[in-house]
Structure 1
Amino acid sequence: MASSRAARDAAGPESRTPVVLVDATAIPADRGGVGRYLDELIATLDGPLVIACQGRDERFYRELAPTATVLPQHPGIASTARRFVWEQVSLPGIARRAGADVIFSPHYTVPLLTRRARVVTFHDATFFSDPGVHTTLKRLFFRGWIRVSSRLADAVVVPSEATASELARYIPRGIAGFDVAYHGVDRERFHQPSAAEIDEAATKLGLAGAPWIAFLGTVEPRKNVPALVVAYRRLVAGWETAWGPVPALAIAGGLGWETGLDAEVDLVEAPATVHVLGFIDLELMRGFLGGASVVSYPSLGEGFGLPVLEAMACGAPVLTTRRLALPEVGGDAVAYSEPDSPSITAALRTLMADADLRSRLAARGIERSKRFSWRESALKHQAVFARVANGKV
């Protein structure tokens, strides 16, 4: 690796492709939005890559990026605290020995002591703008490290213009100091499902026999899922027979810290039904999303909103909010409501009463989703890596 770097150096700084060390060690085993972001990038990036990862992910990354150098790390760094110490103490040496020009840190923090160029991704500004949706420890840690990383990094990547604008309110880095790289959508996985795929998802997830309203995302305060459950109860209480069978509410995604969800679900009575599914297999997501009557994502604010994009690509009519980046993703191809329960109920009633409206939104969503590409996102990241490696920050 080091000798190939020397050969590229000899060709001149403008022509060489930088060696990028990707720190994938912060990615959890159950892939949420940040994990999928990094996995899609690694699969799509060109040029020499070195991937530092948890030992459990070694085989996965070797298959995902066959030309990359994969460096599994000691299993002890599965602990968050130990991983952070490893990042500060060991990662700079790994980058040096690998001949890396750039260290890419995709989750807010960067190593302090390194001569390599550093690129970091900030996914949203909610640690500042909406602190109540995070635990106190997490809020204090990431607020501090966002400020430190912003000061030290040669470039900061964000997933939307809204995130750049929001972050610029809280840290001394102007909007122009952020590189916006939208997320993409995996079209092999997320496209309109067949009837058989919808049936398979419904059967395996226990949803067969009735329509469903879907939610997909980590169940944490920011996602506002208890408000959705309250809205759903009210929707069913006023259900009209002309709308067809009463739908279930299906909530998919990892469970974050306490949200009050259980208390709201306990109040649900027949004919309403709520299924809390937890993580679902990626192979079932197309049928789960595309088979839903509506995908509701009532978030209080997103740096991007990947589930909204993926639902659109699957041909689902989507209901979300206008908070932060969500309108950048949904445009005029989704329905919007305020994040309070009465507003969500009213919007759901409108959608469930109008099959033609749902069809129009589904068609618009499919078309709009085509604007977002992991290839374009990777090219944007590569341009940032090349710029900082050549000293053009």
Structure 2
Amino acid sequence: MPQITVLIDGTAVPRNLGGVGRYVEGVASHLTDPDLDVHLVVRPVHADHFASVAPHVTVHSAPTWTDSVPLRFLWEQTGLPALGRRLGATVLHSPHYTFPFAWRRGSVVTLHDATFFSNPEWHSRLKRTFFTWWSRRSLRSRPVVIVPSAATATEAARVVSGIRADVRVAPLGVDRARFHEPTVAEVEDARIAAGLPDHASWIAFLGTIEPRKNVTALLDAYAAVRDARDATGSPTPWLVLSGARGWDDSAIERLDALQDADRVVEAGYLPVEDLAGFLGGAAFVVYPSLGEGFGLPVVEAMATGACVLTTRRLSLPEVGGDAAVYTEPSSVDLAASIARLLDDPALVASHRSAALRRADDFTWDATAAVHVDAYEAVAGGGR
């Protein structure tokens, strides 16, 4: 078949490359099919990074003023389709909900999450209004929409009427060069980066402090376990939270009131090079989310050989399979599950081994293959 020219819009990638940045990195760097001529447009701050991680892709810089969010959307509607036409692109991939209305050739949009519809209380009013509006437009007007899990596809079908798009599931992958069983030195580097005392062990949490991550319940559960173990003289690893502060006011208020004696560390946004040591070096990883479109931190933790404690909500069992340990998300259930893992090293060890095997099921090559099929499906037609 003739070569397909694809333009991927990476201008929504955040400065710290989190979230959609990991997705665009993973997909773009694995689109090596010789039948594709792949172009990626990003904001100037990211151009060198993507040129290095995806050397087979032609990287373009958007105007510097697209660092402004309102102006980025303006450019998406005007400059992006103009760039696509200039490049002779037959497919435009919009990897973060929004797309240019003026684009009349092949179009693929990625929706990462349907909880803006199903659980609006987890999101700020602005975000849920914005993302539900664009999700509906994508599902009703684009030929192919990609989602990261069957749970997200099911939720979208349940809450959005009039879907015309061919909704395709592309589970995310994990970069095994970044997320691997850590060395002793990497574990020590992560301990130092997290600000822990010498020789301290820890329980790890990775994620934004937002309502769905259930951080208040985690803090309550940890305090209950720590106090009970202190009473019997049993040591308790520290709890370390890595991630940016979001909009969970209750959890943030609790974090602001922490004392050293609480043995909880808010480490902030750890560099990606420290994450293998942080996750794989932990006693175990806790991800007590109330629901995710995919749950990439679970896969990343499993790839480091971590035992992961999570919930059965939405996509998380798709990701964790039999390798994860599951709990209900209440503080009482979380406390019981944390105590069980602390008291049963053999159980933790068995789930560490299972986690490494499970992580092998999630590759960016497989994710990219779904995208190639989607591009081929829309290349010959309009939107």
Name the TM-score class by shorter chain.
over 0.9
Specify the alignment match of 1:11 in structure 2.
none
> Equivalences for 1:196-235 in 2 at 5 Å?
196-207=185-196, 208-235=198-225
Structure 2 CA distance for aligned equivalents of residues 175 and 327 of structure 1: 28
The 3-state SS of whatever aligns with 2:205 is strand
Specify the alignment match of 1:359 in structure 2.
349
Specify the alignment match of 2:182 in structure 1.
193
Residue-by-residue CA offset, 1:211-242 (whole Å, 9 max, x unaligned): 10100112211211121111111110111688
Structure 2 CA distance for aligned equivalents of residues 176 and 43 of structure 1: 26
Q: 1:173 to 1:318 in 2, by over 3 A?
A: farther
User: How far off its partner does 1:316 sit?
Assistant: 0.8
Structure 1 CA distance for aligned equivalents of residues 259 and 267 of structure 2: 18
Kept in 2, the 8 Å contact 1:50–1:70? The answer is: yes
1:27 maps to a residue whose letter is V
Q: Which of 290, 301, 321 pairs up with 2:280? A: 290
Task: Say whether residues 1:73 and 2:62 are aligned partners.
Answer: yes
User: How far off its partner does 1:244 sit?
Assistant: 5.1
Task: Say whether residues 1:331 and 2:321 are aligned partners.
Answer: yes
Q: What is the percent sequence identity of the aligned residues?
A: 45
Specify the alignment match of 1:51 in structure 2.
40
User: How far off its partner does 1:333 sit?
Assistant: 0.7
The 3-state SS of whatever aligns with 2:239 is strand
Kept in 1, the 8 Å contact 2:90–2:380? The answer is: no
Structure 2 CA distance for aligned equivalents of residues 63 and 335 of structure 1: 37
Structure 1 range deviating more: 197-206 or 127-136 = 197-206
Structure 2 CA distance for aligned equivalents of residues 195 and 113 of structure 1: 53
Specify the alignment match of 2:358 in structure 1.
368
User: How far off its partner does 1:347 sit?
Assistant: 0.7
1:131 maps to a residue whose letter is P
Task: Say whether residues 1:87 and 2:76 are aligned partners.
Answer: yes
The 3-state SS of whatever aligns with 1:256 is coil
The 3-state SS of whatever aligns with 2:93 is strand
Structure 2 CA distance for aligned equivalents of residues 367 and 206 of structure 1: 31
Task: Say whether residues 1:307 and 2:307 are aligned partners.
Answer: no
Structure 1 CA distance for aligned equivalents of residues 338 and 178 of structure 2: 27
User: How far off its partner does 1:172 sit?
Assistant: 2.9
Specify the alignment match of 1:167 in structure 2.
156
Task: Say whether residues 1:256 and 2:256 are aligned partners.
Answer: no
Structure 2 CA distance for aligned equivalents of residues 338 and 175 of structure 1: 36
Kept in 2, the 8 Å contact 1:128–1:170? The answer is: yes
Q: TM-score, normalised by structure 1?
A: 0.92
The 3-state SS of whatever aligns with 1:359 is helix
1:23 maps to a residue whose letter is D
Kept in 1, the 8 Å contact 2:105–2:382? The answer is: no
> Equivalences for 1:29-40 in 2 at 5 Å?
29-40=15-26
Q: 1:362 to 1:114 in 2, by over 3 A?
A: same
Specify the alignment match of 1:112 in structure 2.
101
Structure 1 CA distance for aligned equivalents of residues 231 and 200 of structure 2: 14
User: How far off its partner does 1:345 sit?
Assistant: 0.6
Residue-by-residue CA offset, 1:157-189 (whole Å, 9 max, x unaligned): 000111100110112366993100010111111
1:28 maps to a residue whose letter is P
Q: Which of 88, 97, 117 pairs up with 1:99? A: 88
Structure 1, unmatched stretches of 5+, are 1-14
Structure 2 CA distance for aligned equivalents of residues 184 and 243 of structure 1: 42
User: How far off its partner does 1:32 sit?
Assistant: 1.8
Structure 2 CA distance for aligned equivalents of residues 64 and 351 of structure 1: 38
Kept in 2, the 8 Å contact 1:133–1:222? The answer is: yes
Kept in 2, the 8 Å contact 1:168–1:175? The answer is: no
Structure 1 range deviating more: 327-336 or 68-77 = 68-77
| Alpha-carbon RMSD | 1.9
Structure 2, unmatched stretches of 5+, are none
2:220 maps to a residue whose letter is V
Specify the alignment match of 2:307 in structure 1.
317
User: How far off its partner does 1:377 sit?
Assistant: 0.5
Q: 1:127 to 1:384 in 2, by over 3 A?
A: same
Residue-by-residue CA offset, 1:60-103 (whole Å, 9 max, x unaligned): 12222223222211121112211111111221111000111111
Specify the alignment match of 1:7 in structure 2.
none
Kept in 1, the 8 Å contact 2:140–2:163? The answer is: no
The 3-state SS of whatever aligns with 2:4 is coil
Structure 1 CA distance for aligned equivalents of residues 125 and 106 of structure 2: 31
Specify the alignment match of 1:278 in structure 2.
268
Q: 1:173 to 1:320 in 2, by over 3 A?
A: farther
The 3-state SS of whatever aligns with 1:120 is strand
Structure 1 range deviating more: 240-249 or 141-150 = 240-249
Q: TM-score, normalised by structure 2?
A: 0.95
The 3-state SS of whatever aligns with 1:19 is strand
User: How far off its partner does 1:266 sit?
Assistant: 4.6
Specify the alignment match of 1:60 in structure 2.
49
User: How far off its partner does 1:209 sit?
Assistant: 2.4
Q: Which of 327, 332, 335 pairs up with 1:342? A: 332
